[in-house]
Amino acid sequence: MDLDEQRTVNSEKAEAEKQSSPVSRTATSVPVGDAIEDFHRRDDISFTIPAHRSGRTEFLPDAARWTGVGAFCADVGMTHGVDTRHQAWSVEPTAMELFADAVGADETLFSTNGSSQNVRVAIMAAVHPGDTLVMARNGHKSAFAGLVLSGAWPVYVDPDYDQTWQVAHGVDPAELGRVLDATPTAKAVMVFTPTYYGASADVSALAEKAHSHGLPLITDDAWGLDFAFCSRLPRSSMESGADLAIGSVHKSLAGLSQTSVLSRRGNRVDPKRLSLVFELEQSTSASSLLLLSIDSARRQFQQQGEKLIGRSIDLAERLRSEIERMPGLSLMGQEIVGRPGVLALDPTHVCFDVWELGLTGFSAADWLRQHHGIHLELSDHRRLMPLVTFADSDESIDRLVAALKALVEDRKGADMGRIPEVGDPAALRMETVMLPRDAFLGRTELVPWKQAAGRVSAEMICPYPPGIPVTAPGELLSSEAVEYLQEVVAAGAMVEGCADESLAELRVVAD
């Protein structure tokens, strides 16, 4: 039998195996979950990883004490139980096809390494080493990691900056058009919407600008995956013309932590290149438990998204009404809609200032945790932001309201604390003088922070959350940026992405 004949035999064998697949391609099915159930129903034994034998042992892992045995039963080898070794049953591919159908994409890929992986994949798929990527400067640190891994040269477009609230919103389509006109070498565009603070940019207009220049638009809408499942939220990026869109399943749907999807529409980004780059980044031992949570979240929100997300919106609006009546708290709301970078606001990101209480957001968050056991999604130099989701209830909102009222009462008559000043954002913007890849991976050294100005940054220093780098690899450090970072750390911020998290020393390109 020659090779072509053997190939035909293998194809026929795979087709025959497909007929015994335990999954179906219907919107009401959960292919990964159905296949896991079928594995246990068959009473198969898998002498493969994972070593814990998917719950079939008298020696249960200690972690089952916290997770329950069910988590381990669901953790079955993807190619040794959930599917065959060459995916003849198409379990995960079918689940991804159903997710693509649900969000209006041509293709959706599942990540068990978070949206950080998908951001890096999107950049590496869209540009080649040395290509120019026009990218909003308010990106998550994963985007700057994507610049390092891809070898791309960034041209940054500044988002709309709100001086009143001291936050960056989305990118103004007119500003993107200006930057693209001035950057004929651009190969792709990347923006970040909605923002951590809930502001959504006009993706349709941004896509129109990118496409008019023959470029794909990548949107990191990690906080906006629920937009595809509820009509009370803005249109999703996929529906609005994005070519690649990244969404975190655990941020707004019902996925376990580290779950994310990368969706593609059209062919402005080569599908085969995208697939190969994704394979380069993904784990060869993807967790069936995490994949199941993506798959089942899709079905749950396809069926109940209007109700579940609508309920979270109603709860968030009630919380907003309560906060508006509390002295010393200032709520960011619909007044920001209509700015150049804001088409809409997601009300479930309940963002408010506490500085009038004489507190930084860091101090207020610490007080709420210590005195009321309340943990919030975001705190920074002047504000707090609880995130309201489908899993919240009237009881949980009542508890948060009571805690905030207690905070306000506790601060009556208190001295005004030291609130760090944020200077003009233009003064914090620095020139990119070296490829991020070369700066980060080349020879570097640590220098005292007072000697860092004028040197080329070899790290991304990110106050976290939201994880947006103040300095990026390849940027020429300014004294304003270095001093601002010292102020932020002194105020209690946690920083990531740097060699010395105290910022006593900064990592710079070696002379």
Looking at residue 187, which CATH number applies to its domain?
A: 3.40.640.10
Is 336 inside any structural domain? yes
**90-114 average pLDDT score:** 97
For the ranges 174-178, 224-228, 423-427, the lowest mean pLDDT is seen at: 423-427
Inter-residue contact 186 to 134 (CB < 8 Å): yes
CB 157 within 8 A of CB 187: no
pLDDT digits (tens, 9 = 90+) for 452-489: 999 999 999 988 767 788 899 999 999 999 998 998 88
Statement: residue 94 has pLDDT above 80:
yes
Write the DSSP assignment of 97-164 as a string of letters: HHHHHHHT-SEEEEESSHHHHHHHHHHHHH--TT-EEEEETT--HHHHHHHHHHTPEEEEEPPPEETT
Residue 161 lies in a domain: yes
Cα(435)–Cα(384) distance, integer angstroms: 35
Q: What is the mean pLDDT of the chain?
A: 93
Q: Is residue 470 part of a domain?
A: yes
Query: Which residues lie below 8 Å from residue 88, measured CB to CB, with a gap of 6+?
Result: 14, 17, 18, 21
141 versus 465: the higher-pLDDT residue is 141
Could you tell me if 360 and 390 lie in one domain?
yes
Q: Which of 423, 428, 480 is nearest to 158 (CA)?
A: 428
Residues 251 and 326 both lie in one domain = no
Same domain? For 157 and 117 the reply is: yes
Domain co-membership, 282 together with 376 = no
Q: Is the peptide bond before 184 cis (omega within 30 degrees of 0)?
A: no
Q: Which helix (H) or strand (E) holds 383?
A: strand 383-385
Does position 394 have pLDDT exceeding 90, yes or no?
yes
DSSP character at residue 94? H
What's at 51, amino acid-wise?
A
Per-residue pLDDT band for 490 (boundaries 50, 70, 90) equals confident
Number of domains in the chain: 4
For residue 391, is it within any domain? yes
* Per-residue pLDDT, 389: 98
Q: Given 282, 299, 316, which residue is the final one in a domain?
A: 299
Least reliable range by pLDDT among 29-33, 85-89, 226-230: 85-89
Domain boundary among 267, 299, 331: 299
Kindly state the tokens that stand for 20.
Answer: 């015994």
- Give me the mean pLDDT over the 408-417 stretch: 83
Task: Mark whether 295 and 311 lie in a shared domain.
Answer: no
| pLDDT (0 to 100) of residue 489 | 85
Reply yes or no on whether the pLDDT at 87 is more than 90: no
Query: Residue 477 has which token pair?
Result: 């450090």
pLDDT band at residue 420, thresholds of 50, 70 and 90?
low
156-170: per-residue pLDDT in tens?
999 999 999 989 999
Q: Is 415 domain-assigned? A: no
Interatomic CA distance for residues 133 and 137, integer angstroms: 11
Same structural domain for residues 110 and 247? yes
pLDDT score at 465? 65
What was the pLDDT predicted at 20?
78
Predicted TM-score (pTM) of this structure: 0.94
Q: Are 254 and 353 found together in one domain?
A: no
Q: Do 239 and 254 share a domain, yes or no?
A: yes
Share of the chain above pLDDT 90, in %: 82
Q: Residue 423 — pLDDT band, cuts 50, 70, 90?
A: low
The answer to whether residues 284 and 143 belong to one domain is: yes
Q: Domain for residue 417, yes or no?
A: no
Which of 281, 299, 317 lies at the terminal end of a domain, its last residue? 299
Q: Which residue has the tokens 């009300």?
A: 347
> What pLDDT, in 10s, does the model give residues 177-195?
999 999 999 999 999 999 9
Domain that holds residue 55: 3-82
pLDDT recorded at residue 422: 67
**Length of the chain as a residue count:** 511
- Binned at pLDDT 50, 70 and 90, residue 243 comes out as very high
Residue 418 lies in a domain: no
Average pLDDT estimate for 355-371 = 94
CB atoms within 10 A of CB 211: 16
Is 405's pLDDT higher than 90? yes
Q: Which 3 state secondary structure label does DSSP give 264? A: strand
Q: Buried b vs exposed e over 68-98: b needs ≥16 C-beta within 10 Å?
A: eeeebbbbbbbbbbbbbeebbbbbbebbbbb
CATH number for the domain harbouring residue 397: 3.90.1150.150
- In the prediction, which pLDDT does 428 show? 82
Q: What is the pLDDT of residue 300?
A: 98
Do 389 and 369 have their domain in common?
yes
Query: What is the reported pLDDT for 464?
Result: 72
- Regarding whether 254 and 135 lie in a shared domain, the answer is yes
Helix (H, G, I), strand (E, B) or coil at 275: helix
Tell me: do 166 and 275 sit in the same domain: yes
Residue 416 lies in a domain: no
